[in-house]
Copies of this chain bind each other. A is one copy, B any other.
Amino acid sequence: MSETNQDKAREKFSAFLQKSGLKPTAERLTIFSEAMATVGHFEADDLLVILKQRGRKTSRATIYRTLEILAQAGILRKLCFEGAAIQFEKAADTPHHDHLICRKCGARFEFYHSEMENLQADLAKEYNFRITDYTLQVYGLCANCAGE
């Protein structure tokens, strides 16, 4: 149920704000809602456009600041792709999914790699790390582009 996920996230957000001494302002709640309404990746500017369409005059600065809070809270995940602005995605969407990216046309595919759980456990033990998340990107040429 996406409602359940979203409710959990909302609670998590409230709890995080409280814990951090931050206020649940209208701007923050709106940005949270719009972020939860996204599908797939988005960047700060996408949210600005959406909010503008909704008639809100939220500033870029506030969006950046709030997205950072949402990332800190573990509600959003930050993704860093070459040559692009920082991307966000809902952390609750899938436990994790990785990206297969065509170097030529930029096509992106998501895949799931079950092996990562073991790896994380191994790393945690070997380096004494408390692992929170990871990002894996595999690059290459897609079927179309490889054929040229």
- A→B interface (CB under 8 Å): 78, 80-82, 86, 100, 102-103, 109, 111, 113, 115, 118-120, 123-124, 126-143, 146
B102/A123 in contact, CB under 8 A: no
| CB<8 Å pairs between A and B, sample of 9 | A80-B82, A102-B129, A115-B119, A123-B138, A129-B146, A130-B140, A132-B139, A133-B140, A135-B139
A129/B113 in contact, CB under 8 A: no
A146/B130 in contact, CB under 8 A: yes
Which residue from B80, B126, B140 sits with its C-beta under 8 Å from A80? B80
B113/A142 in contact, CB under 8 A: no
Set of chain B residues within 8 Å of A119, measured between Cβ atoms: 113, 115, 138
- A78-B82, A80-B81, A80-B82 known; A131 vs B140 contact (CB < 8 Å): yes
A122: min CB distance to chain B, Å: 9
In whole angstroms, what is the CA distance A41 to B104 when docked? 24
A126: min CB distance to chain B, Å: 8
In whole angstroms, what is the CA distance A116 to B133 when docked? 18
- A78-B82, A135-B136 known; A123 vs B100 contact (CB < 8 Å): yes
Which residue from B86, B115, B140 sits with its C-beta under 8 Å from A129? B140
